[in-house]
Chains A and B, each alone.
Chain A
C-alpha cells in the first residue's frame, strides 16, 4: 500500500500569496494513498529538507510529492532529499505550483483549485513510479579518431596527451589532410607545412597513438563507452617494417603519368609512390588501379630493385576489430572542381584553376617550386582574376551556404601572387567580403591597401578563350552595374567547400545524422556543437561544416575534451529514464510481436532485434525488440508508436500518463 507524503512549499510568499497552501495540504491529505501532508515556508531550505526527511522516516513514506517551483528548478534537490531519507530518488515528483500556478494567476479559489488538481495528478503519478537505478556503463578508455587531417591530428594528440590510448585511422597513405597541401595560411602567412609537419611527426612517435594509414572504418556497432569497430587495412603491397623509404622503387617505376592528387592534378606521380616528401609514414604504397603488375601481370621492377625486399604484390586487405569507448569523426571536406562550372568552361580551360590548385602553385613544395606559373604553358601570368563565391551562396547550383574560408584565402592568394610578382595585376570579383575573425579584416585591408589588389563587387557571367587570353565578362555593381571585361592570363575559382563524396555512407556507418549537403549534424547547433546525437561520437573539423584552421583546431580540442571527460571515470552513469520492452514467463516471453516499428522511428538507433532462443536446441522461439540502455535517451517516440504497448518508458509509463490525465479531470482510475 502506497503511503505518499505531500509537502507544499510557500516559497516565502511567492506561492502562498495567491494559493491557499494550507487548503492544498489539507485536500492532499484526503487523497487515497496519501499518508502525510504538510506545508512549510521554504521547503528547499535546510530546515525544510530536514522536515521532509523526518516525515519520510516517521511516517514510513513510500514516495513524495513536493508542491513547489518547477521541476526544472529543484527536482534534483528533492530527489537527493528522498535518497537521503532512504527512498529511491525516482519516487519523488514535483508539482509545479509556482511557475505554472501562483505566478500566472491571481489570488482566487480557481487558482487554489488548480494547485490542488496538480498535486492530485502528481500523487497519482508517484503511486505508479517504480524505483529506478542509475545505469552504469563501463567505459573502454581508448578513443578512435577517424581522419588524419589537422582536426584528427589535434584531437588525437590532445586525447593521447591526457594519457589515453588513441587509434587514428586515415584513408589515404599519409596523414596531413588538406592542410598539408596549403602554401601559407591566413592571416599570419605562416608556411602551412612548417606548422603542420611537426604535429604529424608527433602523432607518429606518440606512445599512446596507434596510427593506421591507408585504412577505412568498415562498421561501427555498440554504444557509448563500448563501441566495436571494424577497420579495413587496405592492401599496401609494401611491408612497412622492412621498407626504409629509400625511394628506389618510385625512381624505377615506369608508370610515371598518373595525375598527382597531392598536387591537385597539376603534376604526375608514379604507381608506387609516397604522397609527398614529408608524408607520415614516409613509406610508399602501390596504387593498384594504375600499377602495370596489377593491370597486366608483368613488370615487377619495384620488387626487383627494392634493397630490403619490402614489396609484396600478394598482400590482401586485412580487417581488424577494435574496442573503443569514444569516436571522433574528423573526416574533412572536399571542394567543387572547375568542371562544376559550365559558364567558366567546364574545367576545359587549363588556366582556369581552383583554389587548391593555386595553393599548390604557390607552395614551395609544389610542382613549380613555389613560382606562380600557368598550367598551360608555364608562363608567369601578368593578370590573374580571382572569383570568390564560385558555387557558394548560389541557390541555382544547390549550394546556399557560405563556404566561409574563400574570402580569406582569395585575399591571401592575391597577396601571395603580388608578393612573388610585383608587376602583376590581381583582380578579385566578390559578392561580400566576409572577414570576421581575429586579424582577418586587417589582413584583407592589407591586400587592398598595401598590395594593391583590385576588388570588384560583382559576379562573372562567362569566361572564354580568345587569342590565348581568358576573357572574363563580369559586372561591377558599385559602378552603376557597368559590364566589365578583363583579359586575364589565369583565373582562380574559389570553389565551394562541400562534404566528401563518401560522407553519406561514412555517416551511415558511424550512425551520425547529416544535413542535406551531407555535412555531419551536431547534437545542438549552439549548446552541443561537438557532440553528435549518438552518445560517444564527437565531431571535429570541416566534416561538420566549412571551417578554417583555427576553428577546426578549436573544435578538435573541444571534441578531445569531451572524450577525456567521458574517460575520466571507469563507469559512466546514465539517467534511467529509458524505454524497456516488457518481459514475462515462457512461453510468451514478451507481448512484443517483433514488428520493429520502434526500430525505424528511434532517432538514436537504440533498438535492436532480439532473438529469443530455446536454451537447449538454439531454436528461435520469438523475435522481439530490445532497448540498448547505453544508447536510449528516453524520448519515448517508440512508446507512442508501439502497436500493442509492449514497450514503455520508465518514469513516463503508459499507466502513469493515463493516471495523470484521469486525475487532472478528477476521475477515478
Chain B
C-alpha cells in the first residue's frame, strides 16, 4: 500500500459567529457586553483519505462545510482539532484567476497567477509559451484581461493552474471551463494528472460530473461525513435523500 496523498483524521473547524464573522468595531464592543459562547461547527470530526491517482468528489448541500474543508486542505485554515497530512505539492483551483488583475495584460496575469501559486519567475519564463498555447490565446495575450470574454478568462486561469504541475489538485466547481472543445482538453489534462499518480479533490454540485469523473465520493452534511464510498453509490444515496426531503416539503406546503 502506498501512502495516501491526503489524510484527514478527525478534522474539526469551528467558528465563533460573532468574533470570526466580519467583525467590526461596533460588533467587537457589543461582544464585550454579552459574550457569545456558542461555537458553530463548520467541519466536525471529518476523517477520510485519498490515494494517489484517485479523483475524490465532495458533495453536499450549501453550507455543509465543503469549501471550508477545501481551505483546510489548501492550508489556509488551520483546523481546531484533528490532523491533516498532505503528501505532495497542492495547487488550488478553488477560484479561477487568483491573483489576476483585470487592468493588466494577459501576459502579466500569467506571471501574477503563477507567482501567486508559488512558481519562480524563471520557471514561468520557461513555461510561458506552453501556458498561452494551451489556453489558445496567442492572439490576445497582450490585451488587457478586462477585454477577455468569460471563456477566454477561464481558459487562461485554468491553463495557469495546470502549469503549476500539482500533485494534488483542489477544484471547486470549475469543470465546465470554456467551450466544448476546451472542456474536453481540460478533462484530458486532469486525466493525465491522475495517470501520473496525481490526485484530484473535487467539490461540486454537479452530481453527474462527480459520478462520472470521481472514483470515490464523500457526502457531507452539517459539517459531518454522511457517506463515503464509490462515487456512483454515494451520489445515488444523496439523490434519494434530496428527493425524500423535497417530497416531505411538498406534503407540508400541499
Please indicate whether A and B come from the same complex rather than being unrelated chains. Answer: no
Contact surface of B with A, Cβ cutoff 8 Å:
none
Contact surface of A with B, Cβ cutoff 8 Å:
none
